[in-house]
Structures are given as C-alpha cells and as structure tokens.
Structure 1
Amino acid sequence: MTVRTGSCLCGARAYEIDGDVDGVWICHCSLCRKASGSNGNSILIVPRERFRWLKGEDHAVTYALRSTYTITRCKTCGTPLPAEVDERNIYVTAGTLDTPLGKGVKAHLFCASRADWDRDEPDAHVFDERPG
C-alpha cells in the first residue's frame, strides 16, 4: 500500500495518508482565496480511517470564521493544515505533502467566484527555478 507523508513548514506537525487519492480539488471561493492568500485552497479528500497524525496534534490553532468554515494552522509557522471537521473525511491541504502525489487536479470548485487575475497573460513567463 502507498503511504504518503506531509508536514507543516516548521515540521512541528506531520501526518501520513494510507493508499491512493483521486486527485486535487481546488476551491476558488472568496473564503478559500482569503484563507490561502492565493487563487484558492488545494485539497485532497482522504477518508478519515486512512489519515493519521505522526506528531504535533496539539500544535494547532483553529479559527472559526463562520459556523460552516474553519481553518486550522500550525501554532509556530502558520501553515494551513488538514481540516478535520467532517465525520467521514479529512481535507488535506495539498501543499503540505512531502511525498509526490502522482495525480493532478481533479476538480475546480466555485469557478464563478474565481479572482479576475486567476489566469495567465498571453506573454506570461514560466520558469523552472527562480530567475537569476
């Protein structure tokens, strides 16, 4: 069975996922854009029984922004962490994976709420590394 690991930026929190996932889901709603500071939240939907914390379970702070929207972050580095508000699934922030996923984006959600800048300009540059 495939096991994937992930962690926050400072390494205080770490987790494992057993088995494969079907791909990344990106939510473009205004709440997810604000919570991430980017074009949205990129998540993996993982059945609860296939997710486990390896360390740092007590090293989190959760913000209840609305009754239906919370975000959990590492107390030290502020990394957005997997959401555990659902009884069946854990919503793992895809950027916290330490091992390759081997899958791409499966779905884009709330595209009507997408930021107007969430697109490439015709002359956009693409770099494999930071330009010198």
Structure 2
Amino acid sequence: MSQFSRSAALLLCLLGCNVWKAVTKTLREQRAQEVTLKVHVSDSSTHQPLGKAFIEIFTNQTSFTSGYSEADGVAFITFSYTLGVQLLIAATKSGYVPNSSPWLATKLPLFSSVSLLLHPERSATLMVYEDIVQIVSGFQ
C-alpha cells in the first residue's frame, strides 16, 4: 500500500468518525426531552395572581398538555419537548380575555418561566348609525 493510500484511508477514517459523531449528536438533540415550564398568570390591572386559570400548551395548532394555576397564580407544567419546536402557551379564566405567548428553545433550558397577564372583560355596547358610531362601555 502506498503512502498516499494510507493517508487517504486515515483521512477517510477521521472524517467518517467526525461525521458519525455529528449524526449521533443531532439524533440525540432531536429526541423529545422532559421540560418543566413555570407559568405565572396574573390580573393585568391589579397584578394580583389568578388562581384556577386554565393553561394550555399548543404545537401545530393542537393542544397537547394543560393544567391549572394554583392560588398563587403559578402552574408547573411538565411535558416532552423536541428542541426547536415552536409552542404557544395560552391562559384563560372566566371573566378575563384569554392571552398567549410563543415559546421556543434551541437548547434544553435548566429553568424556564412564562408570565401571562389577563385583562378583565369589560362589557360594552356598540351602536352604529348612519352618521355616528357610539360605544358605551360598562365597568365591573
């Protein structure tokens, strides 16, 4: 075997090993891993925590996990997550306007928290006339 052949074989072996390491690292990163997300829900006007708010996590417009906030407005939601997948964290509560926030991680977080403010619903009446639009707002 010539010196060139040995060098080429060694080079191919080194490249092959590096490619294999990159492929296995990529496969490890694409596996779903368990993540716990802290979600804090509060009233936007008083900043008081909202207990019993319903929290849903969506991916591709499909809800895949949910939970309720405790009296302190906090919920810890644990789920399987694949790095790089966009999620939508949504919170709802009767008497409040729903709110949501996108969430995305490219590295597995040690800790992650999302805060959502919910606006109280306000009743209103809309009247449309030929020459004027009238909005009468009520207070809770």
- Shorter-chain TM range is under 0.3
Question: Which protein shows a greater Rg?
Answer: 2
Larger helix share, 1 or 2: 2
Larger strand share, 1 or 2: 2
TM-score (norm 1): 0.26
